[in-house]
Chains A and B, each alone.
Chain A
Amino acid sequence: MKGEASFTDEIYALPGGEGVRLCIQCGTCTGSCPNADKMDYAPRKLIAMARAGMREEVLSSNSMWLCLSCYLCTVRCPRRIKITELMHALECLSSDSGMTTKRVRTPKLYHTFTDIVYRMGMVPEFLLMILYYLRTNLLSAINMIPMALNLLRHGRLDIKPHRLKPESRRQLRAILDKAKILGEKP
């Protein structure tokens, strides 16, 4: 049962992951989740599997990537587990492990988002969409053209986004570079 101990410990060590040991399997989270029916394993089951040491099955599932971060499960959990944060912890573990499923596109969007923040310090929505579609599916980008033009007509495309001063961008990068080093596992 070595796997069981180590995977639970791995989750437990992350902020928000500590609740994994408190779950009583009541299913309130699954009953509250707007996306439970789209997940490989709904939240209650995912937690049970995590505690059973099913590392690969959990980290390669689509479940946490379909979490909307609406926090309904979190406010209803009778054990006060931060379930949404637990989902984020599982996303981070999945991302680090290289086991992320290709059946959902959410991880690609999140990675694109993160890269833009690192480079620019903020996220122009328009750039996010363009880069995301370049990385995933150019065809769907073509389908988005009418909507983009409509937004442009209504003055809602950020062609002139908020820009940080160069020294502020450097400052944020220095902070994030340091965070990267501190975040690496010993």
Chain B
Amino acid sequence: MKYYSYFPACCSFGQARAYDMSTRAVAKALDVELIELDDWNCCGSTPYSSIDELGSICCSARNLSLAEKRGLDLVTTCSDCYLMLSKANLFMKEYPELKSKVVDALAAGGLEYNGTVRVRHILDVFANDVSSDQIASRVTRSLAGLKVAPYYGCQVVRPRPSFDDPESPESLERLIKSLGAEPTPFPLKTRCCGGSMIIPEENIALDLIQKLLDNAVSNGADCIVTACPLCQGNLDVYQSKVNNKFKTKFNIPVLFFTQLMGAALGIDSKALGLEKGIVSAQKVLSGYLK
């Protein structure tokens, strides 16, 4: 059994509920114990850091301080949370003046942080802490024949080189193969989906989403898997808006990679939140599902 502190991210209660559900279910099946951080708060996020950098780092620092008491790696599903929590660690090392302010601010809340928590993304845990062989040996429904576009998005692999290459990562491909499915070529796999800009500047984001959907479909994918809640939301929920704007007929399911893992591990589709996709995965996965 492997143990981690778990940071589910705000989106786990809304758009990305299926990501949280499938992550917990897959973790259980692979003997990974995710212990939710008590009373965690928002990571600070990119929007916050664009208005108040110090405040946003303090948000992350409170979570890191809570995790430090437990002494385990802190794992999150959300790529932006992963980025912000890692950035707080890095900035406190690189900028001593900033660090002393964060330490003072934490003290006002009766907390301290010594910089010892390792921040991890759930993709890193499932792709590296659990071996491909171990996953393959637990597969009860091989996904042979299913063509899957591996979509990383940006913040899971950038800006700091961590567990995979910033522009040509391979972790998802390895996972997809261990489930028996076939990863398709996907040249835009680390390109941005528009992120939160979909709300204030929808047209700009729709252009980016259209390019991604087109790239996946033209490479023969039956479905797309992603490791980021914003990417899933943008490509799935806004797919019909892309179709309206560009007169296209995209109808490609966008799954969290943990949902695909769960399907191959024989976990019930309800427990994986598969029915929560706006573009239904029913047809594509019908031959494989429990």
Interface residues of A (CB under 8 A from B): 14-16, 34-35, 38, 64-66, 68-72, 74-75, 82, 84, 88-89, 91-92, 95, 104-111, 113-114, 117, 121-126, 128-129, 132, 136, 147, 150-151, 154-158, 160-162, 164-165, 168, 171-172, 174-180, 182-183
Contact = CB atoms under 8 A, between A and B. Distances in A.
Contact of B54 (A65, A104, A182): A182
11 contacts: A68-B197, A72-B154, A75-B158, A75-B161, A91-B51, A106-B50, A117-B44, A121-B41, A132-B199, A162-B10, A174-B108
For the complex of A and B, 4 pairs with smallest distance between CB atoms: A158-B14, A178-B108, A105-B200, A70-B192
A110 B11 contact: no
Given A68-B197, A175-B105, A114 B15 contact: no
Interface of B: 8, 10-15, 17, 39-42, 44-55, 58-59, 61-62, 91, 94-95, 98, 101-102, 104-111, 154-155, 158-159, 161, 166-167, 190-192, 194-197, 199-201, 204, 208, 237, 273, 275-278
A183 B204 CA distance: 33
A129 B42 contact: no
A157 B237 CA distance: 12
B190 to A, nearest CB: 8
A123 B192 contact: no
A71 B159 contact: yes
Contacts of B199: 109, 128-129, 132
B20 to A, nearest CB: 10
Given A70-B195, A162-B12, 19 more contacts: A15-B95, A38-B204, A68-B154, A71-B158, A74-B159, A95-B51, A106-B50, A109-B200, A122-B10, A123-B10, A123-B45, A125-B15, A147-B237, A155-B17, A155-B273, A157-B14, A158-B13, A171-B62, A179-B101
A88 B49 contact: yes
Contacts of B237: 147, 150-151
A121 B58 CA distance: 12
Tell me which of B42, B50, B62 has the highest count of chain A C-beta atoms within 10 A of its own C-beta.
Answer: B50
Given A92-B50, A104-B200, A154-B275, A125 B14 contact: yes
Contacts of B50: 64-65, 88, 91-92, 95, 106-107, 110
Contacts of B108: 174-175, 177-178
B159 A84 contact: yes
A147 to B, nearest CB: 7
A155 B111 CA distance: 36
A117 B109 contact: no
B17 A105 contact: no
A124 B52 contact: no
Contacts of A176: 55, 58-59, 105
Nearest to A90: B50
Nearest to B80: A69
Contacts of B12: 162
B158 A70 contact: yes
A164 B201 contact: no
Nearest to B53: A92
A64 B50 CA distance: 9
B10 to A, nearest CB: 5
